[in-house]
Amino acid sequence: MSDLLARALPLYGLPPETPLTLLNRSENETWAAGDLVLRLHRPGYHTRAEIASELAWLGALQGLPGLDAVRPISGADGPVTDIDGRFLVAFARLPGQELQPGDDLARWFAPLGEITARLHLHARDWTPPPGFTRKRWDVDTILGPQPHWGHWRQAQGLDPQGEELLARATTALAASLRAYGTGPRTFGLIHADLRLANLMVQGDSLTAIDFDDCGHGWWAYDLAAALSFIETDPRLPDLIAAWVTGYTRIAPLGPEDRAMIPALIFLRRVLLTAWLATRADSDTAQALGGVAYTQGTLHLAERFLTDGLAAFRP
pLDDT tens-digit profile of 162-219? Answer: 999 999 999 999 999 999 999 999 999 999 999 999 999 999 999 999 999 999 999 9
Angle, alpha carbons 212-218-223 (nearest 5°): 75
Same domain, yes or no, for 200 and 308?
A: yes
Distance (Å) of CA 236 to CA 1, 24, 114, 309, 313 = 39, 26, 18, 11, 10
Angle, alpha carbons 59-61-62 (nearest 5°): 70
At 280 the pLDDT is 66
Among 71, 93, 115, identify where a domain stops. Answer: 93
Among 93, 108, 137, identify where a domain stops. Answer: 93
Same domain, yes or no, for 49 and 105?
A: no
Same domain, yes or no, for 128 and 78?
A: no
Same domain, yes or no, for 41 and 121?
A: no
Same domain, yes or no, for 173 and 42?
A: no
H/E element, 123: helix 105-125
Same domain, yes or no, for 136 and 244?
A: yes
pLDDT tops 90 at residue 2: no
pLDDT tops 90 at residue 311: yes
Among 52, 76, 93, identify where a domain stops. Answer: 93
| Phi and psi, residue 157, nearest 5° | 75, 15
- Quote the pTM value: 0.96
Task: Provide the CATH number for the domain around residue 205.
Answer: 3.90.1200.10
| pLDDT per position as a tens digit, 86-120 | 999 999 999 999 999 999 999 999 999 999 999 99
Q: What is the extent of the structural domain holding 300?
A: 98-312
Cα–Cα dist 260/176, whole Å: 8
Overall number of domains in the chain: 2
* Euclidean distance between the first and the last CA atom of the chain, given in angstroms as a whole number: 45
